[in-house]
Amino acid sequence: MRLTQYTDYSLRVLLYLAVRDRQSLSNIKEIADAYQISKNHLMKVTHELGKLGLIETIRGRKGGIRLAKNPKEINIGAVVRQTEEDFHIVECFNSELNKCTISPSCKLKHVLYEAMQAFIKVLDGYTLQDLVMNKDELNFLLLSGQQLD
């Protein structure tokens, strides 16, 4: 199973905001700098996270973004389902584009479907709070741009 860059960046934004003080505002530039990723991509991601009600966006000169919910209320499986375009990990999962000859009798697609469901079930077992239990370490890495081995 592979997640899109969009979902990866969505999760990174949520992680970044979860380790910050809940009342303080962050901005796209500081998040992009912390992860060394595209500011333009993050603009799209944060817009969508705002529409999903996961982050709060405050406009203006002193504006910024912050979590709209407590990290305990943000389920990772739900975020992945909301940010992934689809879960067509193989052609036969997409009924409109499926041209595989053996699809009507294929057992592999059932195995892959079961594996995908297990993947999502594991993600459903975690909240954003679970992922930031090492808040101080994450904050250090995000603010310093250093990597721990």
Per-run averaged pLDDT (10 residues), the chain, 149 residues: 91 96 89 94 95 94 93 97 84 79 84 91 98 93 65
Tell me the C-alpha distance between 27 and 114, whole Å: 39
49 sits in which H/E element: helix 39-51
The Cα 4–Cα 15 span in angstroms is 17
What was the pLDDT predicted at 11?
A: 97
pLDDT score for 60:
86
Predicted pLDDT at 61: 85
Torsion of CA 127, 128, 133, 135, to 10 degrees: 180
Radius of gyration of the chain (CA): 18
Question: How much is the pTM?
Answer: 0.86
pLDDT value for 55 = 97
The pLDDT value given to residue 145? 60
- β-partners of residue 64 are 58
pLDDT for res 148: 46
Burial 18-35, CB ≥16 within 10 A → b, else e = bbbeeeebbebeebbebb
